[in-house]
Structure 1
Amino acid sequence: MQDLIEENFERQWQQWAEEAEAQIEPRFRLLDRISEKNQWKVIQAFRKHRVSDFHFAASTGYGYNDSGREVLDLVYADVFGAESAIVRPHLVSGTHTISAALFGCLRPGDELLFVTGKPYDTLHKVIGKPGDGLGSLADWGIHTKFVPLLADGNVDWDGVSSAMTERTKVFAIQRSRGYEWRASFTVDQIGEMVERIKSMSPEGIVFADNCYGEFTEEREPTEVGVDLIAGSLIKNPGGGLATSGGYIAGKKRLVELAAYRMTAPGIGGEVGAMLGTTRSIFQGLFMAPLLVGQAVKGSVFASSVFAKLGFETHPRWDDPRTDLIQAIRFGAAEPLIHFVQSIQKAAAVDAHAVPEPWDMPGYEHPVIMAAGTFIQGGSLELSADAPVREPYIAYMQGGLTYAHVKFAVKQALAEFRKRGYL
């Protein structure tokens, strides 16, 4: 009897997968072109700066005269269309990298204004509260304001105008949706935001959290006027090979200030042993356009299949893509938890582990995370997470190969069929 049930599911799965792939084939052609153009951009930067195997040598101690580190910064700056960049394994996460960028730009008495609403949960402790004793922005006398997005997901420019003061120094944009049921912002939309902000505050600094967005489009925010961006190497630009790190890119003076925060004033990016990571960071950047394309294809496939089965998905399969993240609304805690657990079961690493919701530091609600990855927390690899709160939305991202994402979707649907959700 069990064999018959499995055989019936296999036939049903093949039908769902074939219908979805026929539907999304034109979108895949577009994604392939984006990957190609980004691949060529990366290769051209490597060639321009004469990347050679001696650049991969490890440095120790202070890391003086580390030519690999210096060339890596130049390559990143060119790839992101920026004046300058720093790329370091010592930046331990996206939150750390963003924190270094913001603290570098801001001083006591300044104001930080998020024009895209509240940022991702892990930044809330960085923003902090006055007198919290944590060394947060607020603890240093830097005030932060948030302008909620309009109901249609666009920036409330009247609200931004009302929130601005003469002390507003940095205008922050979160490119990706975070834990929100909204569209992420495209590079064109970010360019329009820059124009509006600069018209209201010509000296204002525009900062963008670029996490999850790199190489999903043909351009990056620094190519449409953003002054400073930051991101994590264990997300898109690390190409699944970088074992740690982050990058900051943008205007030369602002990158320098961020580097002073990353290390110490007067030191900045001039020192810092790369500890044998240079090769993997270079090679990860080389691989990133292809692997990001694979991950986005997986998200498009998942969106198509789950929508056909009656679940709400955001973005839809035919929506423009500007990050890795695929949101799926389940409406109840049980299917949400079982979906995330199914993603873990589909992993090549730690497939036997069973994730459960827990009070994760930096988050405001219990969170469940599937993270069967070669690099701990590497979200260019297939992963999924969700705050266990209404309306019970899971956020799936990554997948170094399209085939892996497809396999994970199959595992999730098999689990759903067994539990009666389908």
Structure 2
Amino acid sequence: MRDNIHSDFDRQWEQWAEEAEEQVAARFRTLDRIVEFNQTKVIRAFQKHRVSDYHFAASTGYGYNDSGREVLDRVYAEVFGAEAAIVRPHLVSGTATISAALFGCLRPGDELLFVTGKPYDTLHKVIGKPGDGLGSLADWGVRTVIVPLLSDGGVDWDAVEAAVTDRTKVFAIQRSRGYDWRPSFTVEQIGDMATRIKALKPDGIVFADNCYGEFTERMEPTEVGVDLIAGSLIKNPGGGLAASGGYIAGKERLVELAAFRMTAPGIGGEVGAMLGTTRSIYQGLFLAPLLVGQAVKGSVFAASMFAKLGFETHPKWDDPRTDLIQAIRFAGADPLVHFVQAIQKAAAVDAHVVPEPWDMPGYEHPVIMAAGTFIQGGSLELSADAPVREPYIAYMQGGLTYAHVKFAVRQALSDFRERGYL
């Protein structure tokens, strides 16, 4: 009987998958053009800065005169249309990288204004509370103001204008949706934000958290008026090969200030042994446009498939894409948890592990995470996570190959069929 159930599902799956791929075929062609554009941009940056195999040599100690590291910084700046960049394995996560950028720009008495609503959960401790003793921004006398988004997910410009004071120094934008049921912001929208912010305060610094967004469009925020961006190498730009690290790119003086925070004042980016990571960071950047394209195709397919079966998806399969993240809403905690567990079951690494919700540091609610990845926490690889709270939304991202995402969707739907959700 069980074999018959699986045979029935196999036949149903083939039909569903064929219909979904026919539906998204034109969207896939558009994504292929974006991949080609960004691949060309990366190759030309490598060529312009004369990347050679000797640039992949490891450095030790202080890492003085590490030409591979210095050229890598210039290549990143070129790719992101920025004056300067720092790319280091020592920036241990996206949160740490964003923290270095913000602390570099802000001083006691300054104000940080988030124009795109409440930031991602892990930044809450970076913002902190006055006197918390953690060395947070608030502990150092930096005031943070968060302007909620409008009900349609847009920026509340009246509230932003009302929040600006003489002390407001940094205006922060989060490109991706985080744990919110809203559209992520496109580069065009971010460019419009930068223009409006500069009109409000010409000397204000516009900062964007670029995590999950790199290479999903033809342009990056630093090409449309943003002063400084930050991101993680174990997300898009690391191409699945960078084992750790982050990057900061933008105006030269601001990048320098962030580098002083990363190491020490007066030292900045002049030191920092790469410890054998340089080759994988270069090669990961080379592969990143293609692999980001594979992941985005997987998200588009998943959106089409789950919508076909009656689930709410955001973005929809034919919506514009500006990051890797695919949100899917479920009817309750059980299907949410089972979806994330099915994604883990579809991994090549740790497929036998069953994730459970837990109180993860930096998060306000129990979180369940599927991450059967070669790089721990590598979210360009297929992963899924969700805070176990209403309205029960899972956030799936990544997939080094489209075929892997398709396989994972099949696994989830097969499990749902057995549990009676379909």
TM-score by shorter chain over 0.5: yes
Secondary structure of the 2:269 match is: coil
Secondary structure of the 1:269 match is: helix
Letter in 1 for 2:314: H
Deviations 1:32-55 (A, max 9, x none): 000000000000000000000000
- Asked if 1:277 corresponds to 2:277, the answer is yes
Q: CA deviation at 1:3?
A: 1.1
Question: Is the CA contact (8 Å cut-off) linking 1:347 and 1:372 kept in structure 2?
Answer: yes
Q: CA RMSD in A?
A: 0.3
Aligned residue in 1 for 2:84? 84
Question: Superposed, which structure 2 residues align to 1:5-404 within 5 Å?
Answer: 5-404=5-404
Q: Distance in 2 between matches of 1:385 and 1:331?
A: 16
Letter in 2 for 1:295: A
Secondary structure of the 2:248 match is: strand
Letter in 2 for 1:235: K
Q: CA deviation at 1:398?
A: 0.1
Letter in 2 for 1:281: I
Secondary structure of the 1:307 match is: helix
Q: Which ranges in structure 2 are unaligned for 5 or more consecutive residues?
A: none
Give the TM-score taking structure 2 as reference length.
1.00
Question: Is the CA contact (8 Å cut-off) linking 1:373 and 1:381 kept in structure 2?
Answer: yes
Q: Structure 1 residue runs of 4+, over 3 Å off? A: none
Letter in 1 for 2:383: S
Give the TM-score taking structure 1 as reference length.
1.00
Q: CA deviation at 1:2?
A: 1.1
Q: Distance in 2 between matches of 1:34 and 1:152?
A: 28
Letter in 1 for 2:367: V
Secondary structure of the 2:180 match is: coil
Secondary structure of the 2:338 match is: helix
Question: Is the CA contact (8 Å cut-off) linking 1:299 and 1:325 kept in structure 2?
Answer: yes
Q: Distance in 2 between matches of 1:259 and 1:272?
A: 11
Q: CA deviation at 1:234?
A: 0.1
What is the aligned residue count? Answer: 422
Question: Is the CA contact (8 Å cut-off) linking 1:331 and 1:393 kept in structure 2?
Answer: no
Deviations 1:235-264 (A, max 9, x none): 000000000000000000000000000000
Question: Is the CA contact (8 Å cut-off) linking 1:357 and 1:369 kept in structure 2?
Answer: yes
Work out the percentage of aligned pairs sharing the same amino acid: 85
Q: Distance in 2 between matches of 1:265 and 1:238?
A: 27
Secondary structure of the 1:26 match is: helix
Q: Which ranges in structure 1 are unaligned for 5 or more consecutive residues?
A: none
Q: Distance in 2 between matches of 1:3 and 1:123?
A: 48
Question: Is the CA contact (8 Å cut-off) linking 1:331 and 1:390 kept in structure 2?
Answer: no
Deviations 1:72-110 (A, max 9, x none): 000000000000000000000000000000000000000
Letter in 2 for 1:287: L
Secondary structure of the 1:257 match is: helix
Q: Distance in 1 between matches of 2:257 and 2:16?
A: 52
Q: Distance in 2 between matches of 1:204 and 1:331?
A: 43
Letter in 2 for 1:201: K
Q: Distance in 2 between matches of 1:266 and 1:149?
A: 39
Letter in 1 for 2:326: Q
Secondary structure of the 2:242 match is: coil
Q: CA deviation at 1:331?
A: 2.4
Q: Distance in 1 between matches of 2:236 and 2:263?
A: 24
